Amino acid sequence: MRILHTSDWHLGRVLHEHSLLRDQESFLGSLLEHLRECPYEALVVAGDVFDRSIPSEEAVGLWNGFLEGFRAACPETALLVIAGNHDSAARVALASRLLEAGGIHIRGGGERVDEPVRLPGADVWLVPFLWSGSLAVGGENGRVMIQTQREALAEAVARIRLRMDPQRINILVAHCFAVGGEVSDSERTLVGTAVQVETQLFEGFDYVALGHLHRPQGLGPRIRYSGTPLAYSFSEAGQAKSMAAITLTKGVDPELELVPVRPFRTMLNLKGSLEELMEDERFAGLGEAYVRVTLTGPAGITQPVARLRSRFPLLLDFQEYVAPQSQALAPLPALRKPDIGEEFQAFERRLRDGDPPGPLVAAFSELRAELERTR
């Protein structure tokens, strides 16, 4: 069988206060065109359909229009969608049981992780991003909510294994941060209970379609992040974006074909003096590109951004850089953005002269997770 693996659409994304809805609309149009031309048994969206848990009306409209266009373009293709950490599970999965009659399968929470979508050639197991409390297990005093994503994902996979038919192709779709994955600047720092999970957890599946990391990458022949279809930060400028066309045959490794995604606009990092940027032919014809400029040369230039925007209308990010005069004056390395959880625990250690108690750390993590859900 053949599936098309995508993820992390982040509909409604804003880049440096510039809406990317037009770029996303262009991507969805090209995706529908590809689906018309190339048949697949299923299209997979491995989480983060939206960029916010409460998406804008425009983002919801874009998603609704895609669903209508998808069903018209390829009526025989199944659509398999899970909620990511940016999504509201309940909003994404609205009317999901009704949509299943039309071959559109959307899972938002953990209540159906061991219920497969049965396709003619495979069983597909859909595991959305599992927040604290998404799953519960039996304990001495009744049902106990699982607190970490690693434990929740392990529990979900354990439940799946009890129902797997090893004679069929088994595909796992999940949204998580797997050990060994490379990150990009556009991934929002996960808070609360989100942690890395070991890839050994995915052994036994014929293919694992992952979402969350924005760089397309494989973690072995059977595990892959499709990455975002568009660049969502200037750290991704020049990065080739794609979708993963996967051909599956029981007993052999999947066959991978990358389907390139052509961006609506290119994204560029430019560096030079104001004179070079304004006059050099190397920088001509970039009026339609998203641009970040690092300005070299003397500091204190009057209104550099306004002057640069006369040549680069979509200048979205700007920084001045003074070339070092000597090694002693070299720029300091970029500092890692502090994590409030690490700062909280460091503060408690200073107060207690030792590690903070586990229940206190767990309570803090739950508060952070609750805050992330409502952002």
Quick one: 54 and 188 in the same domain? Answer: yes
Q: Are residue 223 and residue 345 in the same domain, yes or no?
A: no
| Average model confidence (pLDDT) across the chain | 88
Q: Specify whether the CB–CB gap between 317 and 234 falls below 8 A.
A: yes
Q: What is the pLDDT of residue 185?
A: 77
The yes-or-no verdict on residue 372 having pLDDT over 70 is: no
Q: Domain check: are 197 and 315 in the same one?
A: no
* Domain end call among 260, 286, 306: 260
Domain-located, residue 308: yes
**Would you call 80 helix, strand, or coil by DSSP?**
strand
pLDDT the model gives residue 192: 39
Please determine, for residue 330, whether its predicted confidence score (pLDDT) is greater than 60: no
Which of the listed residues 260, 275, 307 is the one where a domain comes to its end?
260
Reported as a pLDDT band with limits 50, 70 and 90, residue 363 is confident
Cross-strand bridge partners of residue 172: 125, 208
Shared domain check, 289 and 347: no
Look up the CATH number of the domain holding residue 226.
3.60.21.10
pLDDT of residue 184: 77
Distance of alpha carbon 189 from alpha carbon 155, whole angstroms: 24
Domain that residue 285 falls in: 267-323
Task: Please give the tally of structural domains in the chain.
Answer: 3
Angle between the N-to-C axes of helices 57-73 and 21-37, in degrees from 0 to 180, rounded to the nearest 10: 10
pLDDT attached to residue 186: 73
Between CA 324 and CA 326 the distance in angstroms is: 5
Co-location of 247 and 204 in the same domain: yes
pLDDT tens column, 101-154: 999 999 999 999 999 999 998 999 999 999 888 888 876 666 788 888 889 999
Final residue of a structural domain among 230, 260, 290: 260
Q: Kindly tell me if the per-residue pLDDT of 335 is higher than 50.
A: no
pTM tops 0.85:
no
Residue 345 sits in the same domain as residue 204:
no
Over 70: is that where the pLDDT of 328 sits? no
Q: Are residues 306 and 344 in the same domain?
A: no
Task: Identify whether residues 111 and 235 lie together within a single domain.
Answer: yes
Asked if the structure places residue 334 within a domain, the reply is no
The amino acid present at 59, given as its one-letter code, is A
- Tens of pLDDT, residue by residue over 47-90, are 999 999 999 999 999 999 999 999 999 999 999 999 999 999 99
Nearest CA to 168 out of 119, 215, 131 is that of: 119
